Each structure stands twice: as C-alpha cells, then as structure tokens.
Structure 1
Amino acid sequence: MRRKKRQVTDLAAIKNLVEKSQVVRIALNGENYPYVVPVNFGYEWEEEKLTLFVHGASEGKKVSMIKSDPKVAIEMDGNHKLVQGTLNASSYSYAYQSLIGFGEAEIIEELEEKRRALHILMDHAAKGAPFDEIPEGMLKRTGIIKITLASYTMKENVHPDDK
C-alpha cells in the first residue's frame, strides 16, 4: 500500500466496514478484459479469515468465468463524504473507507450448504427480518458463489469533522 498512513489494520474497524456494506464488486478474469460486477452479499468471519457468499442465477457469465478461472478480486467501500477545500477545486479531497481483497471463488452445489449460505446472506441484507425455509426446488435453481479471501487490505481517509 503506497499511503501507509491510510491503512487500517484494526480488525474491528474492518469488520465494521464489511457489516455496513451492502454491495461488493467482484472482479473476474475475462476473455479480453476484466469483468466487474456489483452484487449483494453475505459474509462470515473465522477469526481474521473473511468468506463472502453471493447468490444469483445458476448459470451465466459470472458462473462460466469462475469455472474457467476461480481467481477473483473484490472491493467494497463506504463512508463517502466530500472534504471541502479552502481555495478552489484542487484543494478539495474525499473521505472514504475501502476494502480490497483477493481470493478464489467456487460454485456451491450441495443443497444444505446453499441453504446455509442463503441464510447468511439474508441475515446480512435484512437484519432481524423473518426468513422462511427455502423450498428444495428453489435451492436447486439458485446459484451460490462462495469467495474465500486469501488476503485483504482496508484503507480510509477520515473526514476532518469525524476526527
């Protein structure tokens, strides 16, 4: 990381950003160009290890790209706020938090693992809302992608009013 003063190493702060984020961008290796797609997600921590779960169609561009090359990069961000400059636009800045990670994606096929992933995803997306059991037929048709991150880093630029 080039600007070490912006690096965040506090695990509680990293977990807080993941909890507050509702969208993760997944970068996949494309045929001619990288492919980036924003998706909703669920997550779980095992100490410092972060795993993400994404749902969608059981076939399509994301799925075929993952089957071809499971290496992915992810990005999520938040706490955006303009930092007004004093003279002109060149003295302005921007406050933010961002997390970038690298890992591997896999397509989950086993029904109980899909069910568990969907519960994790819904718990993140709709905290506290009741969630009915998922019919087996729906589980079979739903695609679940599990992303296990090998590494991640977070950085932030704190707004002067929030210091």
Structure 2
Amino acid sequence: MRKDIITDHAKISWILDQCQILRLGLSNKNGSYVVPVHYGYQGDSDGKYTIYIHGTGDGEKAAALDKEESIGFETDHGHENLIYTPPRKGDFGPSFMSVIGNGVPHKLTDPQEKLFALRTLIHHYVNTIPVTISTDDVKNVAVWAIEVENITGRVHNPTEEWSVALGMPIKERRGKHYKNGAVAFDDFDYSKLDDAPDAESGASRKE
C-alpha cells in the first residue's frame, strides 16, 4: 500500500466533508461509465460508512444501482492549489485530497429512512434546512444507500490549512502559485538557482 494512503476514519470523514461531488463507477451493456452525483454520508464509531444519493428512479443510473451489485465511487477536492518550483521544468505540484472506495447500493423504500437520507444529503451542503421536509415531500424521490465495503483517502501536497486539520506535518512549498490558470504570486527565492543543478545536464549553473 502507498505510504500516503489514509485509513484513519476521522481523517476520511474530514475529507468527505470538504468534497462536493461523488462520482459513481457504473456499468451497462455498453461498458463502464462514470456518473457525478450529490451525496451525504453517515459514519459510525466502528468506521462503517453509509453514503446516500438520490435520483429520478429511472434511466441508466437507477438501473445500475437497482442491481444491488458492488460499485466504485470517488470524490476529490482542492486542485486549485498549484505550485511550480524552479528550476525543473516538470516540477508542477498540485494539491488535492480524495476518497475512493466501493460498496453495495440498495434503494430505500421506508418513508422515514428516505427522509433521514435526504436530510443527511442536504446537510452536507448547508448547515440548516430552510424548510420542513415531510415524508410526503419525498415519496416520489428515489433514494439509495450505499453500504461501503472499502474506503481510503489520500492527501497530496497538503496546504497549511489541511495539514493543521488532519494533524499532518506542514511542508513549506514556495514557487509560482497559480490561480485560474495564471500566476497569482511568486514567493520563490531565485538566489537558490545559483547553486541548483542544471535541469537537463545535472551540472551546477555556477561557472
């Protein structure tokens, strides 16, 4: 297993809280495909996760979920933190966090279970629900619970904020900081380039 794989459930939950879109790995007669969905989740003290999603109840997604066969899922966040550190041409270091796993979906039919699932999903995006939701409001909404079988997380080049939240060592990274495809600021100490090896020859730039 990779050294940076996260199995700690408190850290996985924190990453799940930051992410917004879950991607489901599904398949049909034409092959495999990916579907982005909104989601909510519950995790117990034993590290058991249940992920809730919803839909129209028809179409390819519903047909795949209703098979109640193991599916894959993935979610990620934070790619806007991109830093380039000279002098190596290819040394672009993006920051990101992600969670991947697999589980078995099943459709919820009990009105109270559906209500709980949809409230959980809404609370993933807002702290409070602005209107009261009743079982009558959700009776025509298809809701699935994915009982997670395996789940892991990963954090690459964590920002200082992520490091503090996850209890990870803070790694100072300097260079050209990109935002929306352009350099937002550059805090690299270019005097260090005098002692840096040439990117192609490996030789020092000093003569």
TM-score, with normalisation over the residues of structure 1?
A: 0.88
Which structure shows the higher helix fraction? Answer: 1
1:116: Cα distance to partner? 1.1
Residue aligned with 2:42, SS? strand
1:135 and 1:7, CA in 2 relative to 1: closer, same or farther beyond 3 A?
closer
Q: Look at both structures and tell me which one has the larger radius of gyration over its CA atoms.
A: 2
User: What secondary structure is seen at the aligned counterpart in 1 of 2:124?
Assistant: helix
1:8 CA displacement: 1.8
**Higher RCO, 1 or 2 (CA under 8 Å, sep at least 6)?**
1
Task: Name the structure with the higher strand share.
Answer: 1
Q: SS state of the match for residue 90, structure 2?
A: helix
- Taking the aligned partners of 2:73 and 2:18, their CA distance within structure 1 comes to 16
Deviation at residue 70 of structure 1 after TM alignment: 2.4
Change (3 A) 1:139 1:160: closer
Specify the SS of the correspondent of 1:90: coil
Q: Which runs of 5+ in 1 are unaligned?
A: none
Give the drift of 1:115: 1.0
Partner Cα distance (2:135, 2:148) in 1: 30
Give the number of equivalent residue pairs. Answer: 160
8 Å contact kept, 2:115–2:135: no
Task: Tell me the residue number matched to 2:142.
Answer: 143
| TM-fit CA distance, 1:15 | 1.0
- Please, which of 20, 25, 28 is the counterpart of residue 27 of structure 1? 25
- Distance (Å, rounded) in 2 between the aligned partners of 1:160 and 1:84: 14
Shift of 1:159: 4.1
- 1:16 maps onto 2:14 in alignment: yes
Q: Which structure 2 segments of 5+ residues have no match? A: 164-169, 171-207
1:44 counterpart = 2:42: yes
| Alignment deviations for residues 15-68 of structure 1 (CA, whole Å, 9 cap, x no partner) | 111111121111112222212111111110112011110111022211111223
Please, what TM-score do these two structures have when normalized by structure 2?
0.70
Q: CA distance change for structure 1 residues 160 and 104 in 2, over 3 Å: closer, same or farther? A: closer
What is the deviation of 1:93?
Answer: 2.3
Distance 1:13 1:32, change over 3 A: same
- Deviations along 1:61-86, whole A, 9 cap, x unmatched? 11111223522111011122213131
State the alpha-carbon separation in 2 of the partners of residues 129 and 112 from structure 1: 17
Contact 1:83-1:160 at 8 Å conserved across structures: no
